[in-house]
Structures are given as structure tokens and as C-alpha cells.
Amino acid sequence: DAMSSQVPSTPIFHRIYDHFGYDVGVLCSFLLAYYQLKVGEAMYIGPNQPHSYISGELAEIMATSDNVIRAGCTSKLIDKEVLCQSLNYDTVGYYPIHPERTGAMTTYRPPVAEFKLQKIELDRGKHLHYHADSETVVFVAEGRGRANGECLSVGQAFWTGVTMEIDFESDSHKFVIWISSQNSQILSKI
């Protein structure tokens, strides 16, 4: 099962060591749980849980925060005192998210109200009507298309206010859009 924790192998340690040398963060390869996700899989990592990724592409969304605390394997500031005060040393805190697929849209819904992530994949000439029920960030990951008639291409992003209707249309072989918004299913239960 791709979502089960595995013991990191010596080649992973060497891969990190080859890149970061004697950085203390290299030792984390033996302390953290190791997960290998397949394309389309996702996991929720709770607040103050140490985490990192070794390779590949991913979309990461965080709840509102005023900082990222680094432990190692970086050229950026490492604040050991804040790190030790902030970390949650719980061994559980990593949960698989089972995607919900409806037509061209895949929704990843973590167990928190702050956010959900949706991926829309449209083939050339295909349309999708999207109802934004909260403030929303839209990012174009692949291809070209339109949102309410406005041209969009790879790397472009936009923000919507609360409650907006968006008509997406693909102008390329594949138009891939990522959308981050509040998780209204959780909000309605609060």
C-alpha cells in the first residue's frame, strides 16, 4: 500500500547526504516516517508536524500561518528554539485523503475547515461550470484556457471573492487548474 509508512532505505539517506552533506537535517531521514505517494494520492499533515519531501511534484496548502519553521537541509534560517517549542511529537498526524472524483474535477478534502484542494482537468473544447462558495485561489498548472472568457495560461493565478460563478473552457490539449478554497463541508458542521 503506497500510503503506509515505510522505513527509509540507505539509498534515500545517501541521496539526501549527497545533496546536503553534513547538515543535521540529513539524520531526519531515519527519524521521520517515509511515505511514497502515487500520482493523484494525497495526505493531510496536521499543524506542527515535521515533514519534508524528497522528490517529485506536489501541491501543498497550509492554513493561515505567520511562519514556516525549518529544521535543516536548507540555506534559510533554522530557529532551533522555536522549532522545539512548536513541534507536535505525536506519532500519528499523517492521514491519507481519499479523492472524490466527479467528472473532470477531483476534490481533496482534509479534516479541517481552512481549506480543500480541487483539480480540474479539461480536454480541448471542454467546459466546466464552477461555483466558488468561498474566497478561492485558482492556479493554472498546465495548458491554456479561459475563465469567464479571460485567457489563462500556465503559471497564471487569480483570486475570487466569496460566491462567484466561473466558467472554465480548455483551449489546449489539456487544461489543468488547481483551486484552493475553504472546506465548506467541514464549516457547515461547526
Active-site residue list = 70
Three cell numbers written together for 150: 479571460
Residue ranges with strand state E in 81-173: 94-97, 100-102, 105-108, 116-123, 127-132, 136-142, 144-147, 150-153, 157-160, 164-170
Residues 6+ apart with CB under 8 A from 140: 152, 153, 154, 155, 156, 157, 175, 176, 177
CA-nearest of 36, 61, 34 to 47 is 61
Three cell numbers written together for 122: 479539461
